[in-house]
Amino acid sequence: MFRNYLTMAWRNLLKHRLFSFINIAGLSLSMAVCMMIMVRTIDFFRYDTFHPHIQQTYRILSKINSTPGDSWTLASTPLPLAEELTSYDQTIAAATSLYPVSATLSGGVEEIPLQGAFTQPSFFDVFGFSLLYGNTNSTLSYPYSIVLSQKVAVKIFGDVNPLGKTITLKNLGEFMITGVLNEPPGKSHFEFDAYLSSSTVSSLEKLGHLPKKSDTWDSFELGYTYAVLQPQATASSLRRVLEEIGNSVAQNANEKERFAFMFQSVASITPSWDRLNNDIARGGSWGKIITEVGIALIILVSATFNYTNLSIARSLSRTREVGIRKLAGARRGQIFFQYILEAILIALGAFCFAQVMLGFILEFKPFNDGYEFVPSIALDWQIAACFLVFAFVVGILAGSLPAWILSSFRPIKMLQNVGSQRIMGGLTFRKTLLVFQFSLSLLVMIFLNAFYRQFSFLASGDNGFQKDNRLSIPINPKDQSIFKTSLDAQSTVEKIAATSQGFGYRALSEIAVEGQSPQKVTLTNYFGDAGVIPVFGLTLVAGSNFSETAEQSGDQVLINEAAIKVLGFKTSGEAVGKFLRADDSVSLQVAGVLQDFYHEGLGNAIRPMAIRCKPDGYALLTMAVLPSKKTAALRDLEKTWKNIYPQHPFVYHWLDSTLEELHSQRATVSLLGFLAFTTLCIAALGLLGLVVYTVETRRKEISIRRIIGARIGSIISLLSKGYVKLLALAGAIALPLGYLLSEFFLMNFANRVTVGIGSLLLCFGTLLLLGMVLIIPQTYRASVENPAENLRE
């Protein structure tokens, strides 16, 4: 019997190929979205699963209560806490801390930024990381020892075993490599490029390279502490230990604040319900999961209901078949199962297409743009089983309603005039769903239009400095003067500037005016030489460029007009010649004041900025080249590069392209475009299902109107005007909502585009055009059919 049902279902799908294709296409789009969200959700739950004592491992949190009633919960803790926990050996089996530090690896062709963390040898007792090279018992036991991640080790040394070699970290010193990590077997909520021995911290504090915080309990923002409980210990015993330590700390702390320590299971960090300050955890939160699952379910339910509409409409032509089967003895359950089986076949076909789309998404990751929206995850048998179960559930969900309705009719009614049957009575609910679908589609279209136009404006707008025909190459600071000298003789290069980084990237520094209030202000800090002003076309409003002596001594600074205000100067001229004290205790004289420009991009307000002379801080050379000699300039630059670095490839980038890529948000636009396309297709299929249903149930009425002389145009108008009204209603709902949503989004930017009536009408016109393309062919086909054939039936 099952084989017979399967054969009949397959024949019916082949008989109505277009109908089957439309259903499969709509379901496959929604299933692809749902499967992508399933992959993300499964990935979130796989964080930190490879640690050896995951159920007994906890991260310690800090809670700070101030006198006015404010309260903060921090993911970070004071640096001495880990050592203090080890003294409670009856409760704590192992404890370790992470003290993050940003470092720069110097000595190669270009400086390599590293995100590292100071930690203890107990790090390997707490977490499940292993070493490719080295010994976990001793690798972090000695000062100035370092463990590199495998990715960084390969980048620096290739496939050579680097144990015993030394690397130089800028402002930290020379470290010996005592270990290289294996690629972790899973994802962790933290990820660092290198782990440095914490026994080095005290030495670096004495040298002034790190703040003196390792022995103080007011360093709540610096460290992250983890503890593994003894097998017999419980969370209650850990709470008592933390209360005892917290009370001790609070007694010696500022009277205006009270401190307490809390804890969080490492297994619950990702995903987490809590939003913690100063958190380094990667991965998603429960709020993000619920939001994404909700969006996926809305799209899926819309697609399954579209299948229901189309199935009911097309099944009207099979009512006699069902009636005859019932008269022949078929039970309602058998007919119900027949329709469910067809729906499952449709869902399995959609699953195959969705799997192809998901494979493309996982392979090429089109929605990743500096953020891992599409995770790197292998599709194992567990995920495959979840997908297969999901496909069966979708088939059952989509096919249950039409199967229940059609199997409930009495045979005598089934064998009567098909056109007189009115399945599901009125269409109010279905029309409401259609309006909702098109309103959602139009809302997404309007927002996507505003999003795309805004980021296109940010990528190509005028930032206030020259970016066209500017070529940048990374360079080792010690070689930048040699390289500049070699390029000065090149006729294709007009001007050269040495900088620490390009405009658009934010690096903060604290500066105070000497002889005034010791309070420091935060500025965006760049290092650059005298070539910055001519190369980028900046304008001086007061003072002058760097002097030749400053180029060597590094004791001058340029500030912008926004910095004048926060530093307390009344005019730009007043600031010239004054001395500023930087956060590295260097005294800097203000050489000149620059006219404000958008150094952090058009989307941000102009913030206070300083450009300092610092020859050992330059890591980028930017050249102004002649527009007609770009190719020749590249050839000359590569030749000069090979003379200095014959073993290293020539790397360059054009500044305008870099800024466009930085602000274009192509991945986010692609994701929103994919969602807009999906919702629009599902809404279109919903409209098609409603049109087909109405045409099927009004076929006799259409034939009678034709016989009494109604013109084809009037019949098309009669059948279509109701749907046009629904589209207009969807526009009336979505247009103001889309405008408000776009305006709220654009308020986040200092400079923004406008959402005009033209953009709104363009989106609505596109939606209306799509609706007419779907409506007119169906109504026209019904109006030109032979009325005698319809009435004979």
The pLDDT tens digits of the residues spanning 534-558 come to 999 999 999 999 988 887 788 899 9
Model confidence at 110, in pLDDT bands (50, 70, 90)?
low
Model confidence at 256, in pLDDT bands (50, 70, 90)?
very low
**pLDDT, tens only, 505-517:** 666 677 888 877 6
- φ/ψ of 565, rounded to 5, equals -70, -45
Model confidence at 620, in pLDDT bands (50, 70, 90)?
confident
Which of 304-318, 409-423, 733-747 is predicted least confidently?
Answer: 409-423
Neighbouring residues of 507: CB distance < 8 A, sequence distance ≥ 6: 500, 501, 524, 525, 526
CA distance 114 to 151: 11
**pLDDT, tens only, 55-105:** 999 999 998 876 556 678 899 999 999 999 999 999 999 999 999 998 888
CA-based max dimension of the chain: 104
The residues with which 511 forms a beta bridge, in sequence order, are 521, 582
Query: According to the model, what pLDDT value does residue 425 have?
Result: 45
Whole-number average pLDDT of the chain: 85
Nearest to 362 by CA among 36, 716, 693: 36
Angstrom CA distances, 37 to 30, 32, 380, 407, stand at 11, 9, 16, 35
Neighbouring residues of 147: CB distance < 8 A, sequence distance ≥ 6: 131, 134, 139, 140, 177, 178, 179, 180, 181, 194, 195, 196
Give the pTM.
0.78
By CB atoms closer than 10 A (0-12, 13-18, 19+), residue 778 is buried
Model confidence at 614, in pLDDT bands (50, 70, 90)?
confident
- pLDDT tops 70 at residue 336: yes
Which of 411-420, 580-589, 655-664, 779-788 is predicted least confidently?
Answer: 411-420
Query: According to the model, what pLDDT value does residue 255 have?
Result: 46
CA distance 41 to 287: 12
CA distance 528 to 621: 10
- Among positive and negative, which fits the CA dihedral 278, 284, 285, 288? positive
Query: According to the model, what pLDDT value does residue 426 have?
Result: 47
Report whether 572 contacts 541 (CB < 8 A). yes
What integer is the mean pLDDT of 740-762?
92
- pLDDT tops 70 at residue 613: yes
CA distance 652 to 779: 60
What integer is the mean pLDDT of 410-420?
54
More confident residue, 639 or 663: 639
Query: According to the model, what pLDDT value does residue 108 have?
Result: 56
Residue ranges of domains in the chain: 1-47+285-425, 54-268, 435-462+664-793, 470-625
Query: According to the model, what pLDDT value does residue 566 have?
Result: 87
Rounded percentage of the chain residues whose pLDDT exceeds 70? 91
Query: According to the model, what pLDDT value does residue 142 have?
Result: 92
- pLDDT tops 60 at residue 283: yes
Provide the token pair at 712: 């084809």
More confident residue, 199 or 565: 199
Residue the block writes with tokens 């604290």: 510
More confident residue, 124 or 787: 124
What integer is the mean pLDDT of 280-301?
87
CA distance 767 to 443: 11
What integer is the mean pLDDT of 308-323?
68
By CB atoms closer than 10 A (0-12, 13-18, 19+), residue 136 is middle
Query: According to the model, what pLDDT value does residue 147 have?
Result: 97
- pLDDT tops 80 at residue 224: yes
CA distance 225 to 656: 44
Which of 80-89, 326-335, 468-477, 744-753 is predicted least confidently?
Answer: 326-335
Nearest to 780 by CA among 706, 704, 685: 706
Query: According to the model, what pLDDT value does residue 52 have?
Result: 94
CA distance 494 to 487: 10
- pLDDT tops 60 at residue 288: yes
Angstrom CA distances, 128 to 43, 124, 131, 135, 600, stand at 18, 7, 10, 14, 40
- φ/ψ of 721, rounded to 5, equals -65, -30
Query: According to the model, what pLDDT value does residue 415 have?
Result: 56
Which of 623-632, 659-668, 758-767 is predicted least confidently?
Answer: 659-668
